[in-house]
Homo-oligomer: A and B are copies of this chain.
Protein backbone atom coordinates (compact mmCIF):
# COMPACT_ATOMS: atom_id res chain seq x y z
CA UNK A 1 0.00 0.00 0.00
CA UNK A 2 1.26 3.42 -0.88
CA UNK A 3 1.21 6.30 1.55
CA UNK A 4 -2.26 7.72 1.46
CA UNK A 5 -3.06 9.62 4.61
CA UNK A 6 0.16 11.57 4.70
CA UNK A 7 -0.35 14.20 2.06
CA UNK A 8 2.67 15.94 3.52
CA UNK A 9 5.91 14.10 3.97
CA UNK A 10 8.07 15.29 6.83
CA UNK A 11 10.38 16.99 4.41
CA UNK A 12 7.49 18.92 2.93
CA UNK A 13 6.22 19.84 6.37
CA UNK A 14 9.66 21.21 7.19
CA UNK A 15 9.92 23.14 3.96
CA UNK A 16 6.48 24.59 4.46
CA UNK A 17 7.23 25.63 8.01
CA UNK A 18 10.63 27.01 7.02
CA UNK A 19 9.09 29.03 4.24
CA UNK A 20 6.54 30.67 6.47
CA UNK A 21 9.04 31.39 9.25
CA UNK A 22 11.81 32.64 7.00
CA UNK A 23 9.51 34.81 4.93
CA UNK A 24 7.98 36.38 8.00
CA UNK A 25 11.05 36.82 10.15
CA UNK A 26 13.90 36.87 7.68
CA UNK A 27 17.12 34.94 7.96
CA UNK A 28 18.36 36.75 11.07
CA UNK A 29 15.04 36.69 12.89
CA UNK A 30 14.08 33.10 12.15
CA UNK A 31 14.61 30.49 14.87
CA UNK A 32 15.26 26.86 14.06
CA UNK A 33 13.10 25.94 17.06
CA UNK A 34 10.20 27.90 15.59
CA UNK A 35 10.54 26.06 12.32
CA UNK A 36 10.61 22.71 14.13
CA UNK A 37 7.58 23.69 16.20
CA UNK A 38 5.62 24.87 13.18
CA UNK A 39 6.48 21.66 11.35
CA UNK A 40 5.33 19.65 14.36
CA UNK A 41 8.68 17.97 14.89
CA UNK A 42 11.75 18.50 17.05
CA UNK A 43 15.04 20.19 16.44
CA UNK A 44 16.98 16.93 16.19
CA UNK A 45 14.82 15.73 13.35
CA UNK A 46 15.05 19.08 11.68
CA UNK A 47 18.81 18.74 11.54
CA UNK A 48 18.39 15.12 10.52
CA UNK A 49 16.77 16.39 7.33
CA UNK A 50 18.64 19.63 6.77
CA UNK A 51 22.20 20.03 7.88
CA UNK A 52 22.16 23.70 8.72
CA UNK A 53 20.09 26.84 8.90
CA UNK A 54 22.11 28.22 6.00
CA UNK A 55 21.28 25.28 3.76
CA UNK A 56 17.62 25.37 4.63
CA UNK A 57 17.42 29.09 4.13
CA UNK A 58 19.18 28.89 0.82
CA UNK A 59 16.69 26.30 -0.36
CA UNK A 60 13.69 28.38 0.64
CA UNK A 61 15.15 31.60 -0.65
CA UNK A 62 16.09 30.14 -3.99
CA UNK A 63 12.56 28.90 -4.47
CA UNK A 64 11.10 32.18 -3.28
CA UNK A 65 13.12 34.35 -5.58
CA UNK A 66 12.52 32.03 -8.49
CA UNK A 67 8.81 32.56 -7.90
CA UNK A 68 9.35 36.29 -7.52
CA UNK A 69 11.12 36.64 -10.87
CA UNK A 70 9.81 33.83 -13.01
CA UNK A 71 6.35 35.19 -13.68
CA UNK A 72 7.82 38.41 -14.93
CA UNK A 73 9.86 36.94 -17.75
CA UNK A 74 7.14 34.55 -18.83
CA UNK A 75 4.54 37.21 -19.42
CA UNK A 76 6.86 39.92 -20.67
CA UNK A 77 8.19 37.55 -23.30
CA UNK A 78 4.77 36.48 -24.56
CA UNK A 79 3.88 37.32 -28.13
CA UNK A 80 0.81 39.48 -27.67
CA UNK A 81 -0.07 43.16 -28.05
CA UNK A 82 1.54 45.55 -25.59
CA UNK A 83 -1.61 46.56 -23.78
CA UNK A 84 -2.71 42.96 -23.37
CA UNK A 85 0.71 42.19 -22.03
CA UNK A 86 0.41 44.90 -19.43
CA UNK A 87 -3.00 43.65 -18.40
CA UNK A 88 -1.83 40.07 -18.19
CA UNK A 89 1.22 40.92 -16.24
CA UNK A 90 -0.58 42.93 -13.57
CA UNK A 91 -3.29 40.35 -13.18
CA UNK A 92 -1.04 37.31 -13.01
CA UNK A 93 1.57 38.93 -10.85
CA UNK A 94 -0.92 40.23 -8.32
CA UNK A 95 -2.55 36.82 -8.21
CA UNK A 96 0.79 35.27 -7.38
CA UNK A 97 1.44 37.88 -4.71
CA UNK A 98 -1.97 37.32 -3.16
CA UNK A 99 -0.86 33.76 -2.58
CA UNK A 100 2.57 34.82 -1.33
CA UNK A 101 2.09 38.15 0.38
CA UNK A 102 5.40 38.10 2.24
CA UNK A 103 7.44 37.22 -0.81
CA UNK A 104 8.48 40.69 -2.02
CA UNK A 105 9.54 42.09 1.32
CA UNK A 106 11.48 38.97 2.10
CA UNK A 107 13.30 38.69 -1.21
CA UNK A 108 14.13 42.37 -1.43
CA UNK A 109 15.25 42.35 2.16
CA UNK A 110 17.80 39.65 1.71
CA UNK A 111 18.91 41.16 -1.57
CA UNK A 112 19.56 44.37 0.33
CA UNK A 113 21.32 42.82 3.29
CA UNK A 114 23.46 40.40 1.32
CA UNK A 115 23.77 41.93 -2.16
CA UNK A 116 26.93 40.05 -3.10
CA UNK A 117 25.50 36.71 -2.04
CA UNK A 118 22.30 37.49 -3.86
CA UNK A 119 24.14 38.30 -7.03
CA UNK A 120 26.28 35.19 -6.87
CA UNK A 121 23.74 32.60 -5.94
CA UNK A 122 20.59 33.90 -7.54
CA UNK A 123 21.54 35.89 -10.52
CA UNK A 124 23.66 33.43 -12.40
CA UNK A 125 21.99 32.92 -15.75
CA UNK A 126 19.28 35.46 -15.39
CA UNK A 127 19.24 37.87 -18.30
CA UNK A 128 18.17 41.47 -18.35
CA UNK A 129 14.56 41.19 -17.39
CA UNK A 130 13.05 43.90 -19.50
CA UNK A 131 15.17 44.05 -22.65
CA UNK A 132 12.44 42.69 -24.85
CA UNK A 133 9.91 44.89 -23.11
CA UNK A 134 12.10 47.92 -23.81
CA UNK A 135 12.31 47.09 -27.49
CA UNK A 136 8.60 46.70 -27.70
CA UNK A 137 7.99 50.08 -26.12
CA UNK A 138 10.49 51.71 -28.43
CA UNK A 139 8.79 50.15 -31.43
CA UNK A 140 5.30 51.22 -30.37
CA UNK A 141 6.55 54.70 -29.68
CA UNK A 142 8.14 54.92 -33.09
CA UNK A 143 4.97 53.70 -34.72
CA UNK A 144 3.31 56.61 -32.90
CA UNK A 145 0.87 54.28 -31.24
CA UNK A 146 1.68 55.47 -27.76
CA UNK A 147 3.20 58.54 -26.17
CA UNK A 148 6.96 58.59 -25.90
CA UNK A 149 8.19 57.11 -22.64
CA UNK A 150 11.42 55.71 -21.24
CA UNK A 151 10.86 51.94 -21.00
CA UNK A 152 12.84 51.71 -17.79
CA UNK A 153 10.51 54.17 -16.08
CA UNK A 154 7.42 52.51 -17.47
CA UNK A 155 8.59 49.12 -16.33
CA UNK A 156 9.54 50.43 -12.92
CA UNK A 157 6.15 52.13 -12.63
CA UNK A 158 4.31 48.95 -13.44
CA UNK A 159 6.12 46.66 -11.03
CA UNK A 160 6.08 49.35 -8.34
CA UNK A 161 2.31 49.66 -8.44
CA UNK A 162 1.86 45.89 -8.41
CA UNK A 163 4.36 44.97 -5.72
CA UNK A 164 4.50 47.89 -3.34
CA UNK A 165 1.05 47.44 -1.78
CA UNK A 166 2.16 44.05 -0.47
CA UNK A 167 5.25 45.53 1.08
CA UNK A 168 3.35 48.39 2.65
CA UNK A 169 0.39 46.25 3.65
CA UNK A 170 0.53 46.58 7.43
CA UNK A 171 1.06 50.33 7.32
CA UNK A 172 -1.60 50.77 4.67
CA UNK A 173 -4.08 48.70 6.64
CA UNK A 174 -3.45 50.66 9.82
CA UNK A 175 -3.56 54.02 8.10
CA UNK A 176 -6.71 53.32 6.10
CA UNK A 177 -8.43 51.13 8.66
CA UNK A 178 -8.81 48.29 6.19
CA UNK A 179 -9.11 44.73 7.47
CA UNK A 180 -7.77 41.61 5.77
CA UNK A 181 -10.75 41.20 3.48
CA UNK A 182 -10.91 44.82 2.48
CA UNK A 183 -7.22 44.81 1.69
CA UNK A 184 -7.65 41.70 -0.40
CA UNK A 185 -10.49 43.36 -2.29
CA UNK A 186 -8.45 46.51 -2.75
CA UNK A 187 -5.54 44.64 -4.26
CA UNK A 188 -7.92 42.56 -6.34
CA UNK A 189 -9.27 45.79 -7.81
CA UNK A 190 -5.76 46.84 -8.69
CA UNK A 191 -5.54 44.01 -11.21
CA UNK A 192 -7.76 46.25 -13.32
CA UNK A 193 -7.03 49.76 -12.10
CA UNK A 194 -3.28 49.54 -12.65
CA UNK A 195 -3.47 48.56 -16.35
CA UNK A 196 -6.18 51.17 -16.80
CA UNK A 197 -4.00 53.80 -15.19
CA UNK A 198 -1.01 52.86 -17.29
CA UNK A 199 -2.89 52.66 -20.56
CA UNK A 200 -4.63 56.00 -20.00
CA UNK A 201 -1.23 57.50 -19.56
CA UNK A 202 0.25 55.88 -22.67
CA UNK A 203 -2.64 56.47 -25.04
CA UNK A 204 -2.27 59.32 -27.45
Contacts and interface: CB of A to CB of B under 8 A. Distances in A.
Interface string A155-178: 011011101110111111011110
Contacts of A46: none
Contacts of A95: none
Contacts of A164: 156, 159-160, 163-164, 167
Interface in A14-40: 24-26, 28-29
Contact of A112 (B107, B170, B197): B170
A142 B202 CA distance: 24
B193 A150 contact: yes
Given A105-B112, A109-B105, A119-B174, A194 B157 contact: yes
Contacts of A24: 112-113
Given A164-B164, A175-B123, A186-B152, A201 B197 contact: yes
Q: How many copies does the complex hold?
A: 2
A80 to B, nearest CB: 22
A111 B26 contact: no
A165 B163 CA distance: 11
A153 B118 contact: no
Contact of A165 (B160, B165, B167): B160
A126 interface: yes
A190 B152 CA distance: 10
B168 A161 contact: no
